[in-house]
């Protein structure tokens, strides 16, 4: 997407995500929905949408203040998702090496970088993700920054 993400565009993404989840009958329903604290994610319209579909199964900055349910996104929380602790850094290093000068070149460089990630690396990343989730469960949701993965 080349446009700036507004709360309206974000809601469109959420609607597509929810409709896809509902269409996948062979997969279990999403238990929890987690989003970060970006401003377009924290509008009244977005919170109303999340409350309608996910109810109290939302982890998001300011969500509990608005709805009275869910869990608040902790500031400075550990990077738990593969996109946070692996993908963005891996893509950045590769993509910046192309020195793109146009948006089309940047988009192409991102696609090349994504396609260059091997299946073996993705398997390692997912194994690490499972380890991180186990540590999160073991710590009862508390911080565990002193652990090196």
Same domain? 102 vs 61: no
Same domain? 84 vs 64: no
- Domain limit, last residue, from 39, 72, 105: 72
Domain with 30, as residue range(s), is: 7-72
- pLDDT for position 28: 62
Q: How many domains does the chain have?
A: 2
* pLDDT exceeds 80 at position 24: no
Q: Is 129 within 8 Å of 81 (Cβ atoms)?
A: yes
The answer to whether residue 29 is domain-embedded is yes
Two tokens, residue 149:
């993965």
Residue-wise pLDDT tens digits, 70-125:
888 776 666 677 887 888 888 988 898 888 999 899 999 999 999 999 999 999 99
Alpha-carbon span 106 to 108, nearest angstrom: 5
Please report, rounded to a whole number, the percentage of residues in the chain having pLDDT higher than 70: 84
Higher pLDDT, 25 or 67: 67
- Domain limit, last residue, from 20, 48, 72: 72
Instruction: Kindly indicate the confidence band of residue 29, based on its pLDDT and cuts at 50, 70 and 90.
Output: low
Same domain? 135 vs 90: yes
> Can you give the pTM of this predicted structure?
0.65
- pLDDT for position 18: 87
Alpha-carbon span 85 to 105, nearest angstrom: 25
The answer to whether residue 2 is domain-embedded is no
Alpha-carbon span 12 to 14, nearest angstrom: 5
The answer to whether residue 145 is domain-embedded is no
Alpha-carbon span 33 to 89, nearest angstrom: 24
The answer to whether residue 144 is domain-embedded is no
């Amino acid at each position: 997407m080349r446009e700036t993400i507004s709360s309206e565009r974000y809601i469109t993404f959420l609607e597509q995500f929810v409709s896809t989840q509902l269409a996948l009958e062979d997969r279990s329903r999403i238990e929890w929905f987690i989003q970060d604290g970006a401003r377009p994610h924290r509008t009244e319209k977005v919170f109303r949408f999340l409350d309608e579909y996910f109810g109290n199964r939302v982890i998001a900055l300011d969500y509990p203040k608005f709805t009275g349910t869910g869990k608040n996104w902790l500031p400075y929380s550990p990077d738990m998702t593969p996109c946070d602790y692996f993908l963005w850094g891996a893509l950045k290093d590769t993509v910046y090496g192309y020195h793109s000068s146009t948006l089309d070149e940047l988009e192409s460089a991102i696609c090349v970088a994504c396609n260059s990630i091997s299946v073996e690396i993705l398997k390692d990343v997912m194994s690490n993700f499972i380890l991180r989730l186990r540590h999160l469960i073991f710590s009862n949701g508390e911080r565990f920054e002193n652990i090196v993965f």
